[in-house]
Amino acid sequence: MARNLKSVVVTAPLKKLQGKILLPASKSISNRLLMISAAGGIKLDIGNLSDADDTLLLQKLIATVQSVKKTDRPVELDAGMAGTAMRFLTAWLSVMPGKWILTGCDRMKQRPIGILVDALVHLGASIDYLAKPGFPPLLIRGKKISGHEITIDPGVSSQFVSALLLIAPFMEHGLIVNLKGRPVSSPYMMMTIKMLQSFGVKINVGKTRIHVTPGLNAPGNCNVESDWSAAAFWYEAAVFAVEADFELSGLHAGSLQGDAILPSVYQNFGIQTEYTETGIRLVKTGKKIDGFYYDFTDCPDIAQPVIITCAGLGIRGRFEGLKSLQIKETDRLRALKNEIGKLGTQVELLAQGSDSPAFEIRARKPGFPRGLSFETYDDHRMAMSLAPLALKTGSLRISNPDVVGKSYPQFWKEFQKAGFEIH
């Protein structure tokens, strides 16, 4: 499919999904491996590295930093819409000699980073805000930092903690991180810890304290598993299909990824998951439910497809643990309310803008007029979550389809393989 399209029309001529679907490599694992390699100054042979736009951008920015020769002039690095790159680079650049201006797109300049900056400054880093305090762009004067203990609130983004952990093994005295409050997306924080431990880093993990000892052993090679987050849109499609029996490649039990919770989540919607030698097989069993409740604190990236699953089925639902969705590529809660409302579904957004927002769908049979047009708000997960509704409407239009490149560049191609038509 050509890029730079304003919109695509998705048609679902078949009601049965079958075949073998290729998933992208995990962006989360790929980006952490790139940062471990960069921070440790080690060369890793990484198999199945993600080809997502965010990972390619992070690679490019790391290469730019590593190619800079000594200069008194600040070097500008643009993270665009890549939140992971912004946070991981903020920590790494603070210990990389040189002057760095780290910026991003307009939306990135609205995404808070003050908690991470405060922690780094407490450790001895030199970071200034170039516009609004607490938000990018940043002026970072990289240097050796001597601090070794901080207290941080992990309730806004686990990536703040991960960013610190990724440089911790290379700090003179290591790092002690005291956690103040319940972490959001804690499986991603544990992913960082387990990956560092696989490199021989000694990390003591307590309930509210993480102690990282300096030192790391570099393995010769490592391989990236497929992305469980990307599987969520296929689970959603399986629910909407009249029949579903297909495979998703490269997934396995015991994954590092928090979104590997999907099989138990979608079992509630009648989707059976069977592990095979090459991935998983999804089979629709026909089970029906009247309502669904879920707390997404540990897995916010699957909130959109699960919420839209309930809306498409016309069942009531209540969803919590959504605080971080308000500061993603867009305000995902507002975006969901706007787009689900086009189905005639009654939606209630409670305590919007607070630390504990909730999203409610009231039981009401949705309308599925053919040819509905949906906006994506420059958000890859909005585009991919809305596309399976074509199985309900027959056809629909998705704006700005290229946004899927952020995490799943081959999404539309795989959608066609499954039987959808993309125009």
Over residues 48-72, mean pLDDT: 94
Over residues 305-332, mean pLDDT: 91
Catalytically active residues are 301
What would the two tokens of residue 386 be?
């809305």
Residue 350 confidence class, pLDDT cut points 50, 70, 90? confident
Taking only the tens place, the pLDDT of each residue in 163-203 is 999 999 999 999 999 999 888 889 999 999 999 999 999 99
Burial class (CB in 10 A: 0-12, 13-18, 19+), 412: buried
Taking only the tens place, the pLDDT of each residue in 364-391 is 677 788 889 999 999 999 999 999 999 9
Name the nearest CA neighbour of 245 among 74, 23, 418: 418
pLDDT at 2 over 60: no
What pLDDT, on a 0 to 100 scale, did the predictor assign at position 129?
98
Q: Give this prediction's pTM.
A: 0.93
Dihedral of the CA atoms 261, 194, 249, 24 (nearest 10)? 100
Over residues 205-209, mean pLDDT: 93
Taking only the tens place, the pLDDT of each residue in 260-304 is 999 999 999 999 999 999 999 999 998 888 899 999 999 999 999
Question: Which whole-number Å values give the CA distances from 230 to 218, 234, 339, in the listed order?
Answer: 29, 8, 20
pLDDT at 313 over 80: yes
What percentage of the chain reaches a pLDDT higher than 90?
79
What pLDDT, on a 0 to 100 scale, did the predictor assign at position 371?
85
Whole-angstrom distance, CA of residue 234 vs CA of residue 182: 30
Q: List, in order of start, the domains of the chain with CATH numbers.
A: 7-24+227-422 (3.65.10.10), 27-151+162-173 (3.65.10.10)
Taking only the tens place, the pLDDT of each residue in 229-253 is 999 999 999 999 999 999 999 999 8
CB 156 within 8 A of CB 123: no
pLDDT at 325 over 90: no
Whole-angstrom distance, CA of residue 17 vs CA of residue 223: 29
pLDDT at 363 over 70: no
